[in-house]
Amino acid sequence: MVSQLVENLCACGCGQPTNIVKHARWRKGYTAGDHYRFLLGHGGQRHREPRLPFQPADLAPTTSELSRRLHVDRTQLYRWKTYGVTVAQAETIADRLGRHPTELWGHTYYETAGCQ
C-alpha cells in the first residue's frame, strides 16, 4: 500500500499526487489506469531549494569590490540579486566576508535553514 502511494506522487519531488491515465499512450509507456509520472508542468524539474534575498549594497560599496571579495564575476552577483541565494551559498558568502550568516540575513537565515 505504501509503495503504491509513493508511485502515485509526482517524480519532481513536490509531493503532490499525479492524475490517472485515461487512455493508453504506448509511445510514452503509459497504459490506461496507471498514474502519470509527473503533474502537468512539473516534468524535468526538481523541488526547488528555498532561497534567501541577496542585497549586495549592504555588503560592499561597489559591485566590483564585492565581486573581488567574493571571488565571483558580476554576472553571478546579478543572478544572486535576482533569484536570491541558497543556504549553502549564503554560508559560503558569509565565510568569504569573514562574517556569520545571521549577521547578513538575520532571523531569515535560521527560518530558511531549518534551525531551531
Cα–Cα distance, 75 to 57 (Å, whole number): 16
Shared domain check, 107 and 61: yes
**99 and 60 assigned to the same domain:** yes
Tell whether 98 and 76 lie within a shared domain. Answer: yes
CB count in 10 Å sphere of residue 101 = 23
Looking at the fold, whether 25 and 62 belong to one and the same domain comes out as: no
- Residue 78: which domain range? 56-113
Please tell me whether residues 19 and 65 are part of one structural domain.
no
Residues 14 and 31 in one domain: yes
Per the structure, the count of domains in the chain is: 2
Whether pTM > 0.75 for this model: the answer is no
Closest residue by Cα to residue 106 from 92, 96, 94: 94
CA 110, distance to chain mean position in Å, is 16
Residues 63 and 102 in one domain: yes
Residues 60 and 109 in one domain: yes
pLDDT of residue 115: 59
Same domain, 64 and 102: yes
Q: Are residues 62 and 106 in the same domain?
A: yes
For the chain (116 residues), the mean pLDDT of every run of 10, in chain order, is: 58 78 83 85 67 75 83 83 82 86 78 65
